[in-house]
Structure 1
């Protein structure tokens, strides 16, 4: 967090994102190879970069299904990867559910996605398979590697019903989808949970923005 290269716009989000606790929860360490899925403006990629250090690598992964968005997510990723002090960040893009070739399997230590897993189910993803994506993540990770998902909680029983309108997903649904790919739940945290969020508002609504009920899940690829 004290990295001198971090922009002020990132530091301004620290109070609601709890970066020290979340980076610790991710288990990212020196020398690791990390994939930051749907990296946005680079907040987490910039944090992981000094943690993994010169011997590590951070891949800012932009799903190919969204590269044509007006916001130009790939252009943004390439821009923050080129910032001074972040030479170990590389922006990459592939189709969401593309299965990795043999030489890329069992190579990564951590796959991370923050408040974007629900978007993988949305119609603008052009029918990409979330099951296929989770299977690809399983193949990419080393045995014992971690898959971390932080997202906005939907009400119990809502499943995938609110991924597009409210940008929320039910925690139990995420667990079932990821475990289906072969992962085991390693740890969950209530650090970002909120009892004042009744799950009925869009996450961008000023009444709940930055204060939504969010779940933190860390899955592990079995060592054997």
Structure 2
């Protein structure tokens, strides 16, 4: 598959340390590529939560309907669609019960105006509370030029990895690893990710954060 060629699923699943029996939250699943993949990896004893932020449920693509449809497919009954505001804190049924939280190419969008003033810090804190001690939070996104911080999240759809690290570590996480499997040399970080010259060939970073054990 073409998506496999640009997403390197085997390498990233290994990097995320997703395994059989895990509970995985796929934040903003889009078409469901990663939710379906994680569903197969975690198996019947595991669970995948395809989480659609309430802030985007009104999109024309109907992302919540797309997420709900995954569980109706053969082999993916362990996928559960979920939607609530980004900053909502977990109830007792979810607190400290998640092994991996994953977000792919969408973290930068959490800062954009169409997210209706979403509080990214509150979201990261909610992720922290959902994860088990020792659990992982994986953020993959399009890289902005070093030192630009959050400047290009809306116009170029890019984010400085250093800004992500600062925000996520503020919530209590520890940076546990970085993968360069999606890195692309020569990407002009000043171009919008949809520019035909680089679309599908952007420089992307992958960060693994860990919730410390007590």
**TM score, norm. by length of structure 2:** 0.98
Alignment of 1:145-156 (within 5 A): 145-156=135-146
Residue in 1 that maps onto 2:81 = 91
Unpaired segments ≥5 residues, structure 2: none
Cα distance in 2 for partners of 1:103, 1:86 equals 22
Residue in 2 that maps onto 1:60 = 50
Cα distance in 2 for partners of 1:129, 1:158 equals 20
1:113 equivalenced with 2:112 (yes/no): no
Following TM superposition, by how much is the alpha carbon of 1:100 offset from its aligned partner in structure 2, in angstroms? 1.0
Q: Residues 36 and 45 of structure 1 are in contact (CA less than 8 Å); yes or no, is this contact kept in structure 2?
A: yes
Alignment of 1:71-82 (within 5 A): 71-82=61-72
Unpaired segments ≥5 residues, structure 1: 1-10
Number of residue pairs matched?
A: 214
Residue range with higher mean Cα deviation, 175-184 or 185-194: 185-194
Residue in 2 that maps onto 1:127 = 117
Task: Write out per-residue CA displacement over residues 56-110 of structure 1, whole angstroms, 9 at most, x where no aligned residue.
Answer: 0000000000000111111111112221110000111010010112342110000
Following TM superposition, by how much is the alpha carbon of 1:190 offset from its aligned partner in structure 2, in angstroms? 1.2
Cα distance in 1 for partners of 2:68, 2:96 equals 25
Aligned residue for 2:163, secondary structure, equals: helix
**TM score, norm. by length of structure 1:** 0.94
Q: Residues 41 and 80 of structure 1 are in contact (CA less than 8 Å); yes or no, is this contact kept in structure 2?
A: no
Which of the numbers 167, 173, 177 marks the counterpart of 1:177? 167
